[in-house]
Structure 1
């Protein structure tokens, strides 16, 4: 699975390189792949070269190629005969050494193409070279390693290498160079100002968000306190309501018994409980109003 992820198996150019395989040289697909690869390299082959390449491939298809050029047969007493194949460059070394009746190389354009393709790099040396060069830019002061900084350092180094043969003091100083330096400093200052503004705006935004969270937390705590207080007030109101019912019952019993002492006591109890219930209802209404305000703030924030 890792090889499927890393290897360029979907690269059409690499897939068409199979035309160099000795076992498919007489197949139509090999000739098609050859022409596709040749046309993908216009910097190497001209139109006349492609025509000549097509003719040479026809001769190559009809060439009598011995099996020994690409097969190696091993016969041992311990195992039966096994066939192994030489590497593709070993095979083409023999093919490209074929000469015509005049003693000249028979496959000129084909040899040029095959040698170029066999010399294609299939490693990661370019990447390793770039990484090594980028590593040199990391100083004790820890230069910024963002893309813009690396590109700027690489461009400066390449400029010194091109104009001054790698020596800074050999770079010719011109008015255009001085103007470019001034412009670079101006752009650097502008970028720094923009960066600082972005940082300050971000800090202000974070502070606002933090303040908003603190306000929400405080409102949520106040809401919970009011809810708890409302439950307590409601319990007291329920108890007062029960006491009022009991006082009314006592009053009716005292009236029936014509007990004026109990009647007076019942009246006092009813009056006291009624006042308390009025106070509790007022507190509950005020508590409900506060809760509504807090929930409205939480909803809008």
Structure 2
């Protein structure tokens, strides 16, 4: 009926015929490049090499390998006339690119220096905060022992010991007040540093799933979450609670919009207020939350 008997076979044969029988064309190209890039022209840019190679191929195609046989047309004359302006424009573009890269590099170095200062200051404050917590515990212990001593002195009608105990209670309360004020200032400065570092930080991790197979302190949650804005799943083997601290003053509001699944193991006796602050601050967008007590009780 006038149709080819083997239509697919004819296409295969045509495709085979266009395949080169050797690599002479490739080798010839390498030889031409060796003639262009000589020992005293090793610093040629890629655009210069492409331009020289295009000129070589054009002479071969239009002039049969002889430059004087290449026909001079109006398009070629105009291209030559514009070559200087094109070159100048390219140089300006390269200079602009180099200036932008230099500016970005300087900005990055400045950002790194600022971040280093913030981190050093944050570490100093955290160390000072820890020392103040220890002093606060000692002051509370002193007040407790002094109150017990005062009660015993009053029962025995020992005025001297009662006065001494009362003086110790006053000193302990005064020291506790000073420590609390200092802790409040440190906490406020830490919060400002953390907010500043969020704006200064040049990068954030793209980690989406994190498993902490060990104890993890409550103080470190801020530092952890501000570097992991893309976190989707979180599992912490044991989250340690901080005692004698107003937790809502030690947390910065970090929006973890991608965090949907959280599994936490905590101590068996956890105040509900502590859990409420934790949830309100970090876990606003959760879909699944699994809590396990350290002793194995789930709730």
Secondary structure at the aligned position of 2:41 is classed as coil
CA distance in 1, matches of 2:37, 2:199: 50
Q: Equivalent of 1:221, from 116, 120, 125?
A: 120
Query: Of 181, 204, 209, which residue of structure 2 is paired with 1:282?
Result: 181
Q: Write the mapping of 1:1-301 to structure 2, written as runs, cut at 5 A.
A: 35-36=10-11, 40=14, 121-139=20-38, 140-146=40-46, 148-161=47-60, 177=76, 179-301=78-200
Q: Which structure has the highest helix share of the two?
A: 1
Q: 1:291 to 1:269 in 2, by over 3 A?
A: same
Alignment size in residue pairs: 196
Secondary structure of residue in 2 paired with 1:228: helix
Alignment partners' CA distance in 2, 1:241 and 1:121: 91
Comparing 121-130 and 276-285, the one that deviates more: 121-130
Larger Rg: 1
Structure 2 distance, partners of 1:274, 1:234, is 15
Q: TM-score if structure 1 supplies the norm length?
A: 0.56
Counterpart CA distance in 2 for 1:238 and 1:120 is 85
Instruction: Flag structure 2 segments of 5+ consecutive residues without an equivalent.
Output: 201-299
Relative to structure 1, the CA distance from residue 255 to residue 33 in structure 2 (aligned partners, 3 Å threshold; closer, same or farther) is closer
TM-score (norm. length: structure 2):
0.56
- In the alignment, the residues of structure 1 paired with residue 75 and residue 129 of structure 2 have an alpha-carbon distance, to the nearest angstrom, of 79
Please give the alpha-carbon distance, in whole angstroms, between the structure 1 residues aligned to 2:158 and 2:12.
122
Superposed displacement of residue 219, structure 1: 1.4
